[in-house]
């Protein structure tokens, strides 16, 4: 359900869209100053949080916080603590703003084909008003049942990864997909190849809401429909673009604005972006031209130079993408790239190989035509497999000498603290919610003349927004049979 934190952030988002660059800078400096005073101003890495998570975590006490783990698509997953009560509300506020670009209203029906979904091929989540289709369960013997089911659906939004969108269309069949009442596509967590989003929208006549984010909740950007670049929400977190070893790319370094749970401070996300070119009149949010991938998605060319894969492969325009269904690039030798391709029937293999050869003369290409490319259980496909990184020897993790001695003492201390504070935290959360509802009710009962005397009342806006969201929820939460 939508609570006070959701409505607070929805109002903050709308307000920030009218801010000038100086107002954005002033807001972010005020929020980040607290983090710098507490943790310092050095750039942090994943290992800093693995080594001493407690140092970067505030108010770590269940049920106020709960453990979260990243997906681990770039290597070993990272565990940290997240705010139990406000985080989900904040995320919904920003995601719903992004999804509204394609006409989504809170609790419109969604079909989700992404994530590691358990419980069979298809199941319904009544809280989200969403049907969940398991990527790992869409095996050949279940496709007939899947196709029969999608024919019964009322208008819906399709929630996918960029890479699982193509897979979903392939599974149900392009002709059937064209006949489905898809109102829009919600695609996050991965970048589309250059021009692929525009080609999809033109071919199928369906708009796509696309965004960049990560599990650490430090940065969030939406793909602008005007400039096709990525605009970072300045009220979500602070983003810096720092130099990288990869030509033409900058590192995305982010600081989170959450007050409870693990606080990421000047955190190197491991993602790379190309700096902005030209102007965009939509707003004054910080922006980049493209998110080109993670620092792990870089290859070593014949001269020993490190290069980002994205601009060379996914920057291709023209008939190239009409020839293939899928591809994956693998490097296990310096200067050599093994390109696995799932070609369309009747594809021009000479065109495919000549196009890639012209784009990447700095490496020797070896082509393999395969029937399919393996995906993770969540439905994601890795565009690049760095065999060099996997083969590199890993240094053994260091551990302080006193850690084994102090660990039981710290654990006992945490348990005592949690027992005393857990009940108080639940009562506090319930009290805050009740007070918010009472304020809204009291305001509704105030005479109109009193409200007019005091001028514009922010609570009126919140109440009106709440009524709108609740009406949308009641209207749209009924699922398909």
What is the chain's mean pLDDT, rounded? 81
pLDDT of 141 > 90? The answer is no
Rounded to the nearest 5°, which phi and psi values hold at 338?
-100, 120
Mean pLDDT along residues 401-422: 56
pLDDT in tens, 213-234: 988 999 999 999 999 999 999 9
For residue 262, give the nearest of 48, 1, 18 by alpha carbon: 48
User: What is the number of other CB atoms lying within 10 angstroms of the CB of residue 99?
Assistant: 23
| pLDDT score for 220 | 96
Cβ–Cβ under 8 Å, residues 118 and 134: yes
130-133/220-223 β-pairing: unpaired
Sheet holding 208-213, edge to edge: 122-125, 130-133, 110-113, 156-161, 182-188, 208-213, 220-223, 230-232, 287-288
DSSP 386: E
- Spatial distance between the Cα atoms of 443 and 445, rounded to a whole number of angstroms: 5
Residues 6 or more apart whose Cβ sits within 8 Å of residue 164: 113, 114, 135, 375, 379, 380, 381
Query: Any residues with CB less than 8 A from the CB of 421 and at least 6 apart, and which?
Result: 61, 64
Q: Say whether the peptide bond before residue 408 is cis (omega within 30 degrees of 0).
A: no
pLDDT tops 80 at residue 106: yes
Q: Token pair for residue 32?
A: 């980040």
Q: Can you list the positions of beta strands (E) in 127-276? A: 130-133, 156-161, 182-188, 208-213, 220-223, 230-232, 237-243, 250-256, 261-262, 267-274
pTM, to two decimals: 0.69
The contacts of residue 86 (CB under 8 Å, 6+ apart) are: 5, 258, 260
Residue with the two structure tokens 């009406």: 471
Contact in structure between 61 and 82 (CB atoms under 8 Å): no
With pLDDT > 90 as the criterion, what percentage of the chain qualifies?
Answer: 48
For residues 239-259, one letter each, b for 16 or more C-beta atoms within 10 angstroms of the residue's C-beta and e for the rest, the string is: bbbeebebeebbbbbbbbbbe
Task: Say what the pLDDT of residue 385 is.
Answer: 87
Q: What is the mean pLDDT of residues 28-43?
A: 94
pLDDT at 19: 97
Separation of alpha carbons 47 and 347, rounded Å: 45
Kindly list the distances between the CA atom of residue 358 and the CA atoms of 247, 312, 314, 339, in Å, as whole numbers in the listed order.
Answer: 18, 10, 14, 14
Give the pLDDT of residue 246: 80
> Quick one: average pLDDT of 189-194?
74
Q: For residue 399, is pLDDT > 50?
A: no
What is the number of other CB atoms lying within 10 angstroms of the CB of residue 304? 8
Does residue 391 carry a pLDDT above 70?
A: no
If pLDDT is split at 50, 70 and 90, which confidence band does 410 have? low
Going from the N-terminus, what domains does the chain have, and what CATH number goes with each? 4-292 (3.40.50.12780), 298-391 (3.30.300.30)
Order across the sheet with 384-386: list the strands. 364-369, 336-343, 324-333, 384-386
Nearest CA to 336 out of 293, 383, 388 is that of 388
**pLDDT of the residue at 480:** 47
> What is residue 346's DSSP assignment?
T
pLDDT range class, residue 22, cuts 50, 70, 90:
very high
Once rounded to an integer, what is the mean pLDDT over residues 406-413? 57
In three-state secondary structure terms, 287 is strand
């Amino acid at each position: 359900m939508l609570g006070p934190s959701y409505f607070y952030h929805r109002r903050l988002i709308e307000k920030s869209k009218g801010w000038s660059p100086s107002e954005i800078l002033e807001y972010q400096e005020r929020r980040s100053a607290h983090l710098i005073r507490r943790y310092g101003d050095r750039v942090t890495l994943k290992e800093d949080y693995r080594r001493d998570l407690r140092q970067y975590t505030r108010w770590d006490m269940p049920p106020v916080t709960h453990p979260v783990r990243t997906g681990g698509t770039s290597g070993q997953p990272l565990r940290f603590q997240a705010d139990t009560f406000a985080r989900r509300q904040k995320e919904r506020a920003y995601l719903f703003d992004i999804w509204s670009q394609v006409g989504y209203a809170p609790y419109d029906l969604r079909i989700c084909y992404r994530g590691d979904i358990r419980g069979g091929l298809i199941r319904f989540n009544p809280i989200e008003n969403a049907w969940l289709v398991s990527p790992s369960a869409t095996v050949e013997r279940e496709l007939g049942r899947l196709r029969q089911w999608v024919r019964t659906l009322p208008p819906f939004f399709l929630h996918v990864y960029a890479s699982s969108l193509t897979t979903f269309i392939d599974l149900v069949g392009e002709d059937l997909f064209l006949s489905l009442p898809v109102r829009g596509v919600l695609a996050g967590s991965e970048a589309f190849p250059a021009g692929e989003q525009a080609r999809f929208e033109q071919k199928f006549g369906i708009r796509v809401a696309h965004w960049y984010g990560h599990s650490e909740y430090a940065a969030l950007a939406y793909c602008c429909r005007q400039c096709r670049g990525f605009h970072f929400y300045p009220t979500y977190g602070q983003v810096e673009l720092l130099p990288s070893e990869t030509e033409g790319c900058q590192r995305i370094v982010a600081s989170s604005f959450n007050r409870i749970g693990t606080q990421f401070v000047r955190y190197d996300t491991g993602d790379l972006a190309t700096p902005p070119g030209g102007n965009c009149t939509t707003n004054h949010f910080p922006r980049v031209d493209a998110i080109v991938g993670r620092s792990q998605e870089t290859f070593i060319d014949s001269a020993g130079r490190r290069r980002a894969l994205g601009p060379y492969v996914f920057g291709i325009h023209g008939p190239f993408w009409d020839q293939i269904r899928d591809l994956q690039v693998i490097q296990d030798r310096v200067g050599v790239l093994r390109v696995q391709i799932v070609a369309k029937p009747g594809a021009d293999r000479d065109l495919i190989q000549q196009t890639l050869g012209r784009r990447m003369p700095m490496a020797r290409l070896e082509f393999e035509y395969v029937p399919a490319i393996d995906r993770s259980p969540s439905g994601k496909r890795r565009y690049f497999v760095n065999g060099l990184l996997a083969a590199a020897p890993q240094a053994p993790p260091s551990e302080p000498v006193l850690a084994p001695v102090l660990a039981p003492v710290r654990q006992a201390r945490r348990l005592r603290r949690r027992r005393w504070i857990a009940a108080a935290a639940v009562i506090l959360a319930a009290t805050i919610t009740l007070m918010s509802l009472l304020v809204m009710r009291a305001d509704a009962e105030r005479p109109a003349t009193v409200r007019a005397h005091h001028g514009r009342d922010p609570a009126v806006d919140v109440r009106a927004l709440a009524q709108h969201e609740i009406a949308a929820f009641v209207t749209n939460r009924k699922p398909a049979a």
